[in-house]
Amino acid sequence: MPALIFDCDGVLADTERDGHRPAFNATFAEVGIPVHWSVEAYAEKLRVGGGKERMATLLTPDFAERWGLPTDTIGQRELLQDWHQRKTARYTELIRDGRIPPRPGVARVAGEALAAGWQVAVASTSAVSSVRAVLEHAVGPMAERFSIFAGDAVARKKPAPDIYRLALDRLGVEAREAVVIEDSHQGLTAARGAGLRTVVTVSGYTAEEDFTDASLVLTCLGGDDEPARVIADPLGIVPGSLIQLDDLRAVMELAPADREEPA
C-alpha cells in the first residue's frame, strides 16, 4: 500500500509568517521579554528546526542575565517548555478561528489517495496539537484517517531525516513506496535523507530556496481559484493545472534510486 506523506507548515497551509510568527511574538509579550520577530527576522529563524529550538536561540548568557532568565540547563529547558506551551495554545486558537486558509489542492489530493487505498500521513516536528489543528482545518473529517508523526517524537528535527524514517517505520513501507510533499529546502533535505521521493510546493518563505534534489517543484497542488504552475520538472512528468494522484505515482516510478543517508 503506497504512502503519501505531507509536511505540515507551508504545505497544508502557509502558516509561518501569519501564524507561528505572531504566536511567538504574542508569547514573548506575555512573558515580558522585549523580543519581536519581524517578517525578515523570522525568515532567519526558520533555518532552525523546531519551535522550542527557535526560542532557545534567544537564551544567550547576556540575554538571560539581563532579563532574569535561568542560565542553567534544567531551568532553561523548563522555561522553553512553558513558553512553547503558551505559544502553541495561541497558535492553535488562531488556526481554529480559520484565519489562515488551507493551501489549494491538499484536501483534493488527500481524498484521491485515500480513495485509492493509499496510506496518508503528516510528518512534522511542530507540536502535535498544532499539526492536528492545521490538518483538521485543511482536510476536515478526513483528518481522522491520517497518521500523524509530530512534535518531539524524534530527537533530531529537520533537516535531519529522523521524522521521515519514523514515518516509514510506523507505516510499514519502504522509501520507494512513498512520496513526500514538502515546501522548504530544509524539509527536502530531511525527506531525501530518508531516501524519499519528494514533491515541493513552495510557500511564502521558501520560493527562492534551492530545490535541485526535488522530483517536482510546483507553486501549489492546484485548485479552482489557483491552478498549479510547474517551477521544475526534471522527470518530465508534465502535470496539468491540478496535480493528480497519477502524477505522484509517476514521481515514485520515475525518480532515481534512493539516496538515503546512513542512520
Closest CA to 3 of 250, 252, 244: 252
The pLDDT of residue 257: 59
Q: What is the dihedral of CA 26, 56, 207, 136, to 10 degrees?
A: -60
Q: State the catalytic residue, choosing from 9, 162, 183, 247.
A: 9
Any catalytic annotation for residue 82? no
The pLDDT of residue 20: 92
- Is the pLDDT at 67 greater than 90, yes or no? yes
pLDDT digits (tens, 9 = 90+) for 124-181: 988 899 999 999 999 999 999 999 999 889 999 999 999 999 999 999 999 999 999 9
Q: In what order do the strands lie in the sheet with 147-149?
A: 147-149, 119-123, 3-6, 178-182, 197-201, 216-218, 230-232
- Is the pLDDT at 260 greater than 90, yes or no? no
Average pLDDT (196-220) is: 96
Any catalytic annotation for residue 152? no
Q: State the catalytic residue, choosing from 7, 162, 183, 247.
A: 7
Per-position DSSP letters for 154-195, written without gaps between them: SSSPTTSSHHHHHHHHHHT--GGGEEEEE-SHHHHHHHHHTT
pTM: 0.90
- Is the pLDDT at 49 greater than 90, yes or no? no
